[in-house]
Amino acid sequence: MFGLIGHSTSFEDAKRKASLLGFDHIADGDLDVWCTAPPQLVENVEVKSAAGISIEGSYIDSCFVPEMLSRFKTARRKVLNAMELAQKKGINITALGGFTSIIFENFNLLQHKQIRNTSLEWERFTTGNTHTAWVICKQLEKNAPRIGIDLKKATVAVIGATGDIGSAVCRWLINKTGISELLLVARQQEPLALLQKELDGGTITSLDEALPQADVVVWVASMPKTMVIDTDHLKKPCLMIDGGYPKNLDEKFQGENIHVLKGGIVEFFKDIGWNMMELAEMQNPQREMFACFAEAMILEFEKCHTNFSWGRNNISLEKMEFIGAASLKHGFSAIGLDKQSKVLTV
């Protein structure tokens, strides 16, 4: 069994979906009611891979909504309760989607192993970041040449380079792609210096300096509050890969020859027959999903029951290659510019 822990993109959206699913008591409730709502196992599904392997899985909605981020205790409980439910249901490997893994990491939830009468077993969970990082790299390799960017001559900026996904993307770009130059951008200087040392390459630079130089920009962090982006100063053509969560870069960067691609989204080779990705607002919800979710499915296809992506900066090239090969084998592919999704509305 694989599991996916997800949530709605906004409170309003969550209420609408709860109503559709028949969860009237929370659909009619205010935010306080949602703060007290237990996680819900919304759907069970059976999936057969391109390699002919069948697996079963469940989608759990944690009943978290982004409006709860300011309530630190509530957000923490939503994540831990959803994880407890996944474990109680006997799910072998569960991906922490959307804000779930971000909350787990930033609120240091590792110290909360005991949830009621359940002792959480971390090996049952994965952030899915290895697959996400691999997918972003593949999206870059495939789509940059399509819009006339020669990777051998390209400058790539990674915004949020020191994060778990960002550092993995940097590792891959330097070692596997032969790009001309890598620009490392992040807020904290100390981890940046460490990363540069580890990579034995890359140039540490500010966001303002990086943007006008970059042929490709990989965003795996939020944008600084005060940032105003002057699209006139961007290179043309320019590929922007939106690898953050939620995905909303396409609103900020619009203009001729600026191509914004939703990063870290994969497509399965056939319809899955589930409703859960409609909840995640995918353009083609029968096939598309977050790469982190797909990682749980891939690990289940491979009977690899381990917390494959866990902790920070543990993503090696070998792990990316392993998950990438398995991803292709079972029928996943990264979405490209030709599958460009419409703008999400909150």
Partner 1 sequence: MHNELKITDMQILESSKKTTEESANPLSLNLPDFTTDSYKDAYSRINAIVIEGEQEAHDNYISIATLIPTELEELTKLARMEMKHKKGFTACGRNLGVVADMEFAKKFFSKLHGNFQIALKKGNLTTCLLIQAILIEAFAISAYNVYIRVADPFAKKITEGVVKDEYLHLNYGQEWLKENLSTCKKELMEANKVNLPLIKKMLDEVADDASVLAMDREELMEEFMIAYQDTLMEIGLDNREIARMAMAAIV
Residue 206's φ and ψ, nearest 5 degrees, are -90, 165
Q: Is 12 in the site for partner 1 (CB under 8 A)?
A: no
Task: Give the closest residue to 257 by CA, choosing from 177, 337, 180, 178.
Answer: 337
Q: Is 283 in the site for partner 1 (CB under 8 A)?
A: no
Do residues 243 and 158 make contact, with C-beta atoms less than 8 angstroms apart? no
Q: Which CA distances in Å does 160 have to 64, 223, 224, 340?
A: 25, 9, 11, 23
CA distance 308 to 323: 9
- The least distance separating partner 1 from the CB of residue 281, rounded to whole angstroms, comes to 12
Specify the DSSP class assigned to residue 153. Answer: G
Element (H, E) at 47: strand 40-48
Q: Is 150 in the site for partner 1 (CB under 8 A)?
A: no
Do residues 166 and 221 make contact, with C-beta atoms less than 8 angstroms apart? yes
Q: Is 153 in the site for partner 1 (CB under 8 A)?
A: no
Q: Is 99 in the site for partner 1 (CB under 8 A)?
A: yes
Q: Is 89 in the site for partner 1 (CB under 8 A)?
A: no
Strands (E), 172-221: 181-185, 203-204, 216-219
Residues 100-139 that bind partner 1 (CB under 8 A): 102-103, 106-108, 111-112, 116-117
CB atoms within 10 A of CB 330: 23
**Region of 130-138, 172-180, 246-254, 330-338 interacting with partner 1 (CB under 8 A):** 246-254
Nearer to partner 1, 81 or 127 (CB): 81
Contacts (Cβ under 8 Å, ≥6 apart) of 339: 267, 283, 284
2, 23, 308, 332: which one binds partner 1 (CB under 8 A): 23
1, 4, 5, 37: which one binds partner 1 (CB under 8 A): 37
How many residues touch partner 1 under the rule CB under 8 A: the total is: 45
Do residues 156 and 215 make contact, with C-beta atoms less than 8 angstroms apart? yes
Q: Is 73 in the site for partner 1 (CB under 8 A)?
A: yes
**Region of 206-214, 216-224, 298-306, 317-325 interacting with partner 1 (CB under 8 A):** 216-224
CA distance 297 to 94: 9
CA distance 68 to 175: 40
**Region of 34-42, 175-183, 280-288, 292-300 interacting with partner 1 (CB under 8 A):** 34-42
Q: Is 26 in the site for partner 1 (CB under 8 A)?
A: yes
Q: Is 72 in the site for partner 1 (CB under 8 A)?
A: yes
- The least distance separating partner 1 from the CB of residue 331, rounded to whole angstroms, comes to 30
- The least distance separating partner 1 from the CB of residue 42, rounded to whole angstroms, comes to 8
Q: Could you list the residues that contact partner 1 (CB under 8 A)?
A: 21-26, 28-29, 32-33, 35-38, 40, 66, 69-70, 72-74, 77, 81, 99, 102-103, 106-108, 111-112, 116-117, 221-225, 244, 246, 248, 251-252, 344, 346
